Amino acid sequence: MNQTTPIRPDYEGELRKAGVRITRPRKVILSILADAGDHPDALEIFKRAVEIDSGISLSTVYRTMKLLEGVGAIHRHAFEGGPSRFEPAGVEHHDHLIDLDTGDVIEFHSERIEELQQEIARELGYDIVHHRLELYGRRRRGKVSRGG
C-alpha cells in the first residue's frame, strides 16, 4: 500500500481548515478541480464552472485559485506563452513535458535530476527554494506510438 494513490483532494476540508468559507461558487470550482485530469487555466475552469452554475464570475475563479495556491492545495504553472495552468498539489513532485502541438502536459520525475540540481545549487552557494523544469517537445514520428 505504498503506491502513489491519486487521492481525490479534499479541498473543502483544506479551505475550512484555513478558515475560509465554503461558498456556492467555490464548491463548483472545487469540484471541477477535483475532477480535472488535465491542467486547465483559469478561463477553462471558468467555462466548466459556468456550465454548472451560470452565475460564477471569472474573478472568483482567479480569487479561488489564488486562495488554493496560498493554502498549498494547488500548484500554478506558467508555461511558455500561455496563461497560468493549475493542478492539484496532492501528487508527488514532478516536472512537465509540454506537447507543443496539443498543449498536453505530461508529468515526469527524475530523482537523479533533482539531486544534480541540489548539487549545482550547493556549489554555487545557494539553497534551492523551488525550481522549474519544463521540456517543450513534439511527439516523435514513426515507431511505436502510445496512442492518443
- The kind and range of the H/E element at 122 are helix 111-123
| Cell of residue 119, nine digits | 548539487
Angle at 21 between CA 5 and CA 34, to 5 degrees: 25
The letter for the amino acid at 120 is I
Which of DNA, a copy of itself, none lies near 135, with the C-beta cut-off 5 to 8 A by kind? a copy of itself
Which of a copy of itself, DNA, none lies near 131, with the C-beta cut-off 5 to 8 A by kind? a copy of itself
Please count the CA atoms within 13 angstroms of the CA of 67 that sit on its side-chain side. 20
By CB under 8 A, name the one of 1, 2, 92, 144 that touches a copy of itself: 144
Site string for a copy of itself, 123-142 (x = CB under 8 A): -xxxxxxxxxxxxxxxxx--
Query: What residues from 39 to 78 belong to the interface with a copy of itself (CB under 8 A)?
Result: 78
122 lies in the binding site for a copy of itself (CB under 8 A) = yes
CB of 93 to a copy of itself, least distance (A): 14
**Of residues 34 and 121, the one with the C-beta less far from a copy of itself:** 121
**Of residues 59 and 110, the one with the C-beta less far from DNA:** 59
The DSSP-derived string for 51-104 is HH-TT--HHHHHHHHHHHHHHTSEEEE--SSS--EEEES-SPP-EEEEETTT--
Angstrom distance (rounded) from CA 74 to CA 117:
23
Q: Which residue ranges make up the site for DNA (CB under 7 A)?
A: 16, 20-26, 41-43, 55-60, 62-66, 78, 82-84
Q: Which residue ranges make up the site for a copy of itself (CB under 8 A)?
A: 78, 80, 97, 99-100, 106, 108, 110, 112-113, 116-117, 120-122, 124-140, 144-146
